[in-house]
Amino acid sequence: MTAAHWFLASLPVVALSVMFGGHLWGGAALLILILSRIWALRSVVTWWMVVVLYLVFGTWFSWQATQLSRRRYPVAQPQTVTTTLRVQPDSPVVYGSGYTVIGQKPSGERVLVHGTLRSAAELRRLTHLTRPTLWRISGQQAGLLAAPNFNQFDAAAYWGHRGIANTLKAGAMTIQPTTGHGLTWWQDSWHGLRSRLIQYCERLPGALRIYALGLFPGKRASDSPQELAGMQQLGLIHLFAISGLHVALVLAVAEWGLIHARLPREWWEWVLLLGLPGYAILAGGGSGVLRACWMRGFQLAGRRCHQSVSPLTAWTWALLVGLWVNPGLLFELGGQLSYGLSLALILLAAEPLHWREIGLTLLGLPSLLTGLFQWHSLTLLANWVVVPLFPTVLLPLTVIGTISARWWPEVATTCATGLATLDASLRRLASLPGNVAFGKPFWLVAWGWYLGTWWVLSRPPATRRRWLMGLLTSYLLAFGWIHWPLHGEVAYFDVGQGDSLLIREPFNRRVMLIDVGGRLAFPQPAWAPKTPVTYGAEKNSVAYLKSRGITRINDLYLTHHDADHIGDLPAILKNFQVDQVWASVGMVQEAAWQRTVAHYPGLKVTAVQVGTPGPLVVHHPFTVMPADNPGSLALQGTFGGLNFLFMGDLDQVGERKIMAAHPELRADVLKLGHHGSNTATSPEFVAQLRPRLAVISAGRHNRYGHPSPETIATLQQAQVPWVNTQQQGMIRYVYRGHHGTWQTKLNLEGDFRS
C-alpha cells in the first residue's frame, strides 16, 4: 500500500474515535465523507484494510470504555479503602504542602492520589525518590468528577483517556522501596533516570529551570504559566514540548554525532531504535514526544528491514498507535497540535515558505480557538521570528545552560538571562494591540475549518486567495455569532462552596456578574515550596466568559465580604474590563476593602442600599450594616420572562425585613440564601414569594452540611422544585424574548452534603 492509501485507511479510525468521544452523529458524518472518498479509489486492498482497522479499533475502544465504566466508583459516596499502590519515582507532583501521584494497584488499575504532606521530612522523601516504591494507603476513593461547568477543562475525560477513572484522597500511609524484574525493571530504570533529571533541573536558575523541565523530562513547572504567558498568548505554545519538535531535534543531533563518530550505521541505528521507548519515558511521554518517537522508530525499523517508510506513512502509523494508547487523543489540544501541525509540515514541504507559514497558522487556529478561546493577530509574525530561533537559540541555550550548571554556574546564569530576555520580549509583543478574544466555536465548525483549510491548500496557487477569503469570511461569521448572540442567559456557576452567577442579555448588550466565588487561603508551613497564587475562577467563570467571547463586564455586584463570594475578585479584574462595581455601603467603608481597591486605581465603585438606582433592584440592606451575612445584598431582575431573586447569604432576619417592606414581592426563580443553610429561607418567605424553582449553590461534601435538611423540608412542604450545583453542576437559563430553557452540566445522583 502507498502512503496515501495508508493515510486514507486510518481516517475511519479517526471518525470512530470521534463517535466514542461523545459526538456520534458528527463522527458518523465524518465516516460517510471518508468512505465516499475511499470508494472512489476502487482499491480492494484499501477497503479490506479499512474493514480490519475499523473492527479492531472498534472492539478495542468498546472494551476500554466498558472497563473504565466498571472500575469507576460513585462520585457522590466516597468509599473507605485500604490498598497497595506501586508508584514510579517521577510520578509525585508537589504543590505547597499538597501532592498528587499516580499509583498502580496489584490488579493493574491506576488511581490518581491526592494527599497532604505533614512534615519537611515527608517533602524531602517525596521529592528525592529515585526508585519505585510501594505505598500502603488508607483513604477515600471516588470516581473522578466530570467538568462541573460548561467549557471548563474536563479532568475526568483527560484522565479517562489514560485509563484512570478514580481518585483517592490519602489518609494514613506507609512507603517502602520495591524492586522490579524483566520489562518492569527496564521501565523502572528509565523512570528513575527521569526522576534524577527532574531533581537536577529543579535546581537550575530562573527561566532555564522552566525550559529545561519542559524540554528534557517533559515536566511543567508550577510557575511556567507566568513565565510563558507571552508564548501562550501568541499561539506559540505548540513549540514548547507539545509539538515534539525538540524530540526530532535531539534525535537528529544524536544521529549526527553517531555518524561523525564513524560508528557502523547498522549498530547505531539499532541502538537508537531500541533506545527510543526509553527516551519517550525520559521525555515525559506526552503526545508530542510519543508521536515524534514513534515516527522516527518506524522509519528506523523500515531502514533496518530494507524498506523505505515515507514520512506520511510513519505519521499514519504513529497516529494509529497514538489512538490505540489514547482513544481521546484528538480531543486534546496537545494531540491536535502535535499531529495536525506535523502532518502539515509533511504535506506542505514543497510549498513556498509564505504558504507553509499561512498553512501552519490556519491549521493550528481551530484547535487554539477551541482550547484557549483567543488568538493574537501577531501570531504569524511571531511564528516567522520564533520558529527559526527554536533550534538555533532557544534549544541550544537550554542545552548549554543545563549541562554547564554543575561545573560553570556562571554560564547557566547567562543562559537563564538570555531565555528570560526572550520571554520578556514575547510578553511585550503579546501585550501589543491585536489579541482577539474570539470565543469557543462549535466543535463541528472547528473541524469544518480544519478540513476547509486543507481544501484551500489543495487548490492551485492562482485560485487559493479566492478560497482563502471564503474561509476567512466563515471565521468572521462565527465571530459575530459568538459576540452578538440572539439569546441571553442567567447562569449559576459551580464554584464549590461559594457563589458566582452571570447575567448576559441578548447581543451582549449588558453583562453582569453577582459575586465571583473564592476560598479561604490557609497559611502554608514554612517548609512547603512556594507556589504562585491561583484562583478557582480561572477554571470556571473566567474560562466560561472567555469561551463566550466576553472581555468586558458592565456591572459586578458583590453581595458581602466573605471569601467564598469575593475571594477570586483579582482573577476577574485581571482578565476583564469591569465598568462598575456595586457593593454595600458597609463593605465600601471597610478598611480591608479599601486596601483591595487601592491596587486598582481606575476601578469605579458605587455603594448601594435599598433605593439605589441600577440595573438590578436592591431589596437589602435598608441601612448601613456590616458587610457580613446579615448585611448581604439581595437583588432582583427580570430576564427571559422570569423574575429572579438573588439572596446572597442573607439570613431570615433580613428576609423578614424584605417581607415587611414588600408584602407583594414575588419571584419565579429564587436563589437560596447562604447556600441552603437553615439560617435562611424561612417557610414564610418561601410562602410569600411562591417561586416556581429554587437554585442552591453549595460545595460537594462541604463541612457545613449545606443545604440543610430543614431548608429542603421547607421547599418540599411548599412544593417548590429545586436544582443544586452539587448534583447539577453549572445551571443556566438560556432565553430569547420571554421564553427560555433550563440547562444543567451534570446529572449526578446521591447526597453531597457531607
What's the pLDDT score for residue 227?
A: 72
Q: Do 86 and 134 meet the contact criterion of CB atoms below 8 Å apart?
A: yes
What's the pLDDT score for residue 5?
A: 86
What's the pLDDT score for residue 434?
A: 83
Distance from C-alpha of 501 to C-alpha of 731, rounded to nearest angstrom: 9
Query: Which tens digits make up the pLDDT trace of 600-651?
Result: 998 999 999 999 999 999 999 999 999 999 999 999 999 999 999 999 999 9
Query: Which tens digits make up the pLDDT trace of 549-559?
Result: 999 999 999 99
* C-alpha distances out from residue 580 to 555, 557, 594, Å: 5, 9, 16
Distance from C-alpha of 592 to C-alpha of 431, rounded to nearest angstrom: 31
Distance from C-alpha of 354 to C-alpha of 351, rounded to nearest angstrom: 8
What's the pLDDT score for residue 237?
A: 64
The dihedral sign for the CA sequence 676, 678, 680, 681: positive
What's the pLDDT score for residue 238?
A: 60
SS3 100: strand
What's the pLDDT score for residue 623?
A: 93
Question: What average pLDDT values come out for the chain (754 residues) when binned by 10 residues?
Answer: 86 94 89 88 87 95 94 90 95 92 94 94 92 94 96 95 95 87 84 95 92 88 76 68 65 76 78 88 90 91 88 96 95 91 91 87 91 85 76 86 92 94 86 89 92 92 90 96 97 96 97 94 86 91 97 97 95 96 95 92 94 96 94 97 97 96 96 96 97 96 93 96 96 97 91 68
What's the grid cell of residue 131?
526508585
Q: Do 288 and 336 meet the contact criterion of CB atoms below 8 Å apart?
A: no
What's the pLDDT score for residue 410?
A: 94
Judge if the upstream peptide bond of residue 663 is cis by omega within 30 degrees of 0: no
Q: Please, is 327 exposed, middle or buried when counting C-beta atoms within 10 Å of its C-beta (0-12, 13-18, 19+)?
A: buried
What's the pLDDT score for residue 254?
A: 76
What's the pLDDT score for residue 462?
A: 86
What's the pLDDT score for residue 220?
A: 86
CB atoms < 10 A from the CB of 613, how many? 8
What's the pLDDT score for residue 584?
A: 95
Secondary structure, 3-state, 572-602? HHHHCEEEEEEEEHHHHCCHHHHHHHCCCCC
Q: Do 730 and 736 meet the contact criterion of CB atoms below 8 Å apart?
A: no
What's the pLDDT score for residue 147?
A: 96
What's the pLDDT score for residue 248?
A: 72
Contacts of 330 (CB under 8 A, 6+ apart): 14, 17, 18, 21, 323, 336, 339
How far out from the chain centre does Cα 341 lie?
A: 20
Contacts of 124 (CB under 8 A, 6+ apart): none
